[in-house]
């Protein structure tokens, strides 16, 4: 039988490497924790008032990681990326983050509502 110590000691994160030739390489997108997912989910609302930019920022902040597992960028850097970079490239990263975090189906349902 599995113990809580077994669970806590396990490395259950998974990641996807996204090719971004426009930016000169690849970016690692990692699954997010329950706490990180809750922060993202709070930004979704069923009343059409969700903030798509804030949702993307929170998701990318949680999911983009360096090879050593540390965050890829700060909140300010993510915000700057969302303001200044090509939307189709950023969406490639958002799509990967949704996939590896198990949020793709929720995002699709929310888009259908709005």
Q: How much is the mean pLDDT over the chain? A: 90
End-to-end Cα separation, the chain, in angstroms: 45
- The pLDDT tens digits of the residues spanning 3-16 come to 999 999 999 999 99
Pick the closest to residue 101 from 64, 49, 51 (CA basis).
64
Q: Which CATH number fits domain 13-113: 1.10.10.10, 3.30.420.40, 3.30.2220.20, 3.20.20.140?
A: 3.30.2220.20
- Give 93-102 pLDDT, tens digit per residue: 999 999 999 8
Q: How far is CA 19 from CA 26, 32, 65, 66, 99, in A?
A: 4, 20, 14, 14, 15
- Asked if 42 and 54 touch (Cβ cutoff 8 Å), the reply is no
Parse the chain into domains and list their residue ranges: 13-113
- pTM for the structure as a whole: 0.85
């Amino acid at each position: 039988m599995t113990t809580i110590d077994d669970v806590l000691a396990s490395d259950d994160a998974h990641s996807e490497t996204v090719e971004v030739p426009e930016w000169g390489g690849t970016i690692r997108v990692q699954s997010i924790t329950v706490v990180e997912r809750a922060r993202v989910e709070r930004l979704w609302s069923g009343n059409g008032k969700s903030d798509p930019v804030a949702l993307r920022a929170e998701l990318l902040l949680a999911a983009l990681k360096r090879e050593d597992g540390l965050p890829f960028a700060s909140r300010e850097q993510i915000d700057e990326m969302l303001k200044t970079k090509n939307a189709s490239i950023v969406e490639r990263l958002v799509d990967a983050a949704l996939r590896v975090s198990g949020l793709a189906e929720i995002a699709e349902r929310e888009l259908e509502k709005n």
